[in-house]
Structure 1
Amino acid sequence: MLDYIEAITNARSLEELWSRHTERMAAYGFDRLIYGYTNFRTNGSLGDIEDFMVLSNHDRAYLDKFFGEGLYFNGPMMRWSLENTGACSWSWARERVARGNVTPEERAVAEFNEEMGVTAGYTISFPTISSRTKGAIAMTAKRGLTQNDVDEIWEKDGRFLELTNNIAHLKILSLPYEYPNRVLTKRQREVLEWVGDGKTIQDIATLIERTPATVEKHLRLAREALNVETTAQALLKASFLNQIYRP
């Protein structure tokens, strides 16, 4: 246990951490994981999906439909994770579906999961101190395991599983991650970093040996890449997405 915790806390990349974590969770019977995190949650939205951090080892066919068609937002366990913190058996969702206490959209997600063999597991919703952030992980059990089997695993090892997933979550937040449609160039990152350090346009032009117009151009392109309207928003969003102050 200590060797594993030490390994993930010392991981230098998301690839290294995710490889170790998925391997360890599979040893406990959870061979398919979806980790998701957003800094842009509001009362009615999780923000732009292109700003999500999503890690998964599910089949591509499953992920393409689950995310591509927006099913993720209507999953019964998604509702639970947005309203709660801690770990929850998927029996919670199965009971709601059985009683008919779900929306048509939620029922469609449950039917899709049944079709794809995503039938037993646990969801962990991570603690947060901000109303704009939310992170959770959905842990799907190996095919052939029932929810009763999974609940027995959790009864024995749930405390360790919840702890290690929380540690992995905190480590993930500290590591660089390339958002495919939010990638800044080296120069765009540099000028935003100087803005964050309190420099004016003229200061930055002097520091990077370019004209103020060129600095303005890089800031405009950074705003466009991050899909925001102001430089202040760009600075905040780039910080949230770990796109600046990177080694």
Structure 2
Amino acid sequence: MPIDHLQKIARAPDIDTLRGFFLDAMKGQGFENAFYTARFLAALPSQSRHHQDVLITNIPKTMQQEMLRPRAGRTPQWAEWVDRNDGTISFRDLRRTIEAVGASRPPEFEIARHHGLGAVQVVSLRGQVMRWTGAVLLNPRLGATPEELDALWRERGREAVLICRVAHLRLATIPRNSGQPLLTPRQREVLEWRSAGKTVGEIATIIGVTPATVEKHMRLAREALGAQTTAQAILRAHVAHELFPRVMHSQPLT
């Protein structure tokens, strides 16, 4: 079991560090080429939308654009499979499944083979983390055969899937709101108390202001977050890591 790799991934403080640990872990399992894509599904205000999609890969950009990205508005077949299925599947088996129902073979399989990436295992991360979806494509080496992939997957597949899942879980919990805060301290405070079930009158008493002032701060918070209701504002503030900010300790608790 790749305990050292899992520990590093689970403790990664940021996405760049996670990227290095994940790719090293995959190489340690025999997969020289990896493509990990994740997307946050909740609708966020435009100020925080730039953190929704994450890509971790060591596959050259030319290959990514030609083989792994949508072409002419069409989603790659492996991405469609991930949206509907859990577990794992190889490009070879996915191609056979498509051909078995009489559908035409998608061009990405031939393009992948042309680039030496015909032997690829797809790992679906659908449903692993609430409001997050993701997938990992793994290849032993450029030019590897499907038979080589099968043998390696039988030996290392369980560990590889576990690494993918731990990385996905860690990604979902890494703070991504590194820009300017969307809320003022007072707006954050009233939303935190409201999320705890306090009424406007109770919040006013707790923080020492009038109910009208509490209503004003909640209205401004809704506007800042692009929310129609206070409940929606609380959700958006939470997923943007604006509520109950984590306190970072220089020393671990003992």
Shared fold (TM-score, shorter chain, > 0.5): yes
Q: CA deviation at 1:166?
A: 1.8
Distance 1:170 1:200, change over 3 A: same
Question: Which residue pairs with 2:175 in the alignment?
Answer: 176
**Identity among equivalent pairs (%):** 21
Provide the rounded CA distance (Å) in 2 between the counterparts of 1:8 and 1:208. 44
Determine the structure 1 residue equivalent to 2:94.
93
User: For residue 195 of structure 2, what is the aligned residue in structure 1?
Assistant: 196
Q: Which residue of 1 aligns with 2:251?
A: none
Moved more, 191-200 or 82-91: 191-200
- State the partner residue of 2:159: 160
2:12 alignment partner, SS class: coil
Q: Could you say what secondary structure the match of 1:74 adopts? A: coil
Residue type at the aligned position of 1:120: A
1:6 aligns with 2:20: no
Distance of aligned partners of 1:138 and 1:238 in 2 relative to their CA distance in 1, 3 Å threshold: farther
The CA distance in 2 between the partners of 1:75 and 1:137, in whole Å, is 14
Counterpart of 2:36 in structure 1 is: 34
Give the residue type in structure 2 aligned to 1:207: I
| 2:20 matched residue in structure 1 | 19
Instruction: Tell me, yes or no, if the aligned pair for 1:120 and 1:150 is still in contact at 8 Å.
Output: yes
Is the contact between residue 33 and residue 137 of structure 1 (CA under 8 Å) also seen in structure 2? yes
Deviations 1:216-236 (A, max 9, x none): 2232111x2xxx432212322
Unaligned runs of at least 5 residues, structure 1: 42-48
Deviations 1:122-171 (A, max 9, x none): 11123637896543323345322233322222122111111222222222
Structure 2 regions of 5+ residues with no counterpart? 44-48, 247-254
1:46 corresponds to: none
Residue 185 of structure 1 aligns with which residue?
182
Residue correspondences, number = 231
Displacement of 1:20 in angstroms is 0.5
Q: Are 1:217 and 2:225 an aligned pair?
A: no
Q: Distance in 1 between matches of 2:193 and 2:72?
A: 37
- Counterpart CA distance in 1 for 2:62 and 2:178 is 21
Residue identity in the other structure for 2:157 = G
Report if aligned partners of 2:83, 2:126 keep a CA contact under 8 Å in 1: no
Partner in structure 1 of residue 243 of structure 2: 244
Distance 1:175 1:209, change over 3 A: farther
| Secondary structure in 2 matching 1:34 | strand
Q: What is the match of residue 46 of structure 2?
A: none
For 1:246 and 1:67, the matched residues in 2 are separated by 35
Considering only aligned residues, what root-mean-square deviation do their CA atoms show, in Å?
4.0
Q: Which of the two has higher C-alpha Rg?
A: 2
Distance 1:152 1:52 in 2: 35
Deviates more, 1:21-30 or 1:198-207: 198-207
Contact 2:182 2:224 in 1 (8 A): no
